[in-house]
Amino acid sequence: MSDATTAAEQLRATVESTEILLHTLAELKPDEVFEPSGLPGWTRGHVLTHLARNADSLVILLSNARTGENLPQYASPAARDADIEAGSGRPLDVQLADIRDSQQRFVDAARELAPEHWQTVLTHRSGYTFPAWQLPGKRLAELEYHHVDLNAGYTPAHWPEPFAIAEFRRLGAHFGALDGLPAVRLVAEDAGLEARLGGDGEPQLVAEGPVRALTGWLSGRSNGDGLQVHRGHEGLVDARTSLPELPPMG
């Protein structure tokens, strides 16, 4: 599969993910947009404003890929935070329209790229570089993770399986390369996948369960619900207290 084809598939997935998000928003009562989200210090309005401004920031990077410019994803970290704070108190209908319109701007900008543009190396706001074809996947992750963060009924169990599998692989590799973590073997029974975190030698702690539940735990969106954890031949009663605490996902 070519990089351009991968980008096109992920772009379609962002469209589907946005439609599901908009359905969730349509079910909210107007005042619920001001209630706390699952992210400390942020209301649902903060999360939604972040999602909209993230789409616009990725439009800038898509334009860079097409034109060869190197404009920053955000004017500055302070400007990014200020925009999120300024937009967080807007009414629900305004937030909903902003999500829809900003996502459409992202899709339109992506469709302007020729196949060769997807090879352009771009700079993320945190400083690392990556090829443009990964942008739709990054947008998809923002949509899926922050949909859960809204704390409005959408959970890791609702994630599309391809997304959960891709993130299980990515996060498993990320945490597997970190020092200082207890040794844990993760077994995604339904996807036929395994990952190993930390430590030397054969892990004594094993967590088994659906790939969505494992990805939910790895990403900090779940406390281990739906997982079976055992040490050697001993089954542990509560995965939520048996699993180690992970640092924020990469």
In a domain, 248, yes or no: no
Q: Are 13 and 106 in contact (CB under 8 A)?
A: no
Task: Give the residue numbers spanning the domain of 116.
Answer: 3-154
Tokens of 33: 């947009």
Which amino acid type is present at position 105?
A: R
Question: Does one domain contain both 173 and 141?
Answer: no
Question: Does one domain contain both 166 and 150?
Answer: no
Residues 6+ apart with CB under 8 A from 2: 115
Which amino acid type is present at position 17?
A: S
Which amino acid type is present at position 247?
A: P
The CATH number of residue 61's host domain is: 1.20.120.450
Q: Which helix (H) or strand (E) holds 47?
A: helix 44-67
Question: Does one domain contain both 144 and 214?
Answer: no
Domain boundary among 139, 154, 169: 154
Residue 54 burial (CB count, 10 A): 23
CA 95 to chain centre: 20
Q: Which residues pair with 123 in a beta bridge?
A: 129
In a domain, 37, yes or no: yes
In a domain, 83, yes or no: yes
Q: What is the pLDDT of residue 250?
A: 65
Question: Does one domain contain both 187 and 107?
Answer: no
In a domain, 149, yes or no: yes
What span, in angstroms and rounded, lies between the C-alpha atoms of 38 and 148? 8
What span, in angstroms and rounded, lies between the C-alpha atoms of 245 and 243? 7
Residue-level pLDDT, tens digit, the chain, 250 residues? 789 999 999 999 999 999 999 999 999 999 999 999 999 999 999 999 999 999 999 999 999 999 999 999 999 999 999 999 999 999 999 999 999 999 999 999 999 999 999 999 999 999 999 999 999 999 999 999 999 999 999 999 999 999 999 999 999 999 998 888 888 999 999 999 999 998 777 787 899 999 999 999 999 999 998 899 988 767 665 767 788 889 988 6
Question: Does one domain contain both 235 and 137?
Answer: no
The CATH number of residue 186's host domain is: 3.30.1050.20
What span, in angstroms and rounded, lies between the C-alpha atoms of 149 and 146? 5
Question: Does one domain contain both 215 and 175?
Answer: yes
Domain count, the chain: 2
In a domain, 247, yes or no: no
In a domain, 25, yes or no: yes
Question: Does one domain contain both 17 and 140?
Answer: yes
Residue 31 burial (CB count, 10 A): 9
- 3-state DSSP helix/strand/coil percent for the chain, to nearest 5? 55, 10, 30
In a domain, 16, yes or no: yes
In a domain, 250, yes or no: no
Which amino acid type is present at position 228?
A: Q
DSSP 113: -
Supply the pTM of this predicted model. Answer: 0.95
Residue 108 burial (CB count, 10 A): 11
Which residue is listed with tokens 């030397």?
200
Question: Does one domain contain both 141 and 41?
Answer: yes
Domain boundary among 125, 154, 183: 154
Question: Does one domain contain both 131 and 169?
Answer: no
What's the farthest any 2 CA atoms get from each other in the chain? 59
Residue 238 burial (CB count, 10 A): 11
Question: Does one domain contain both 128 and 177?
Answer: no
Look at residues 61, 176, 181, 62 and name the one whose alpha carbon lies nearest to residue 123. Answer: 61
Question: Does one domain contain both 14 and 39?
Answer: yes
Question: Does one domain contain both 42 and 85?
Answer: yes
The DSSP annotation for 17-51 comes to HHHHHHHHHHHS-GGGGGSB-SSTT-BHHHHHHHH
What span, in angstroms and rounded, lies between the C-alpha atoms of 187 and 18? 30
Domain boundary among 129, 154, 179: 154
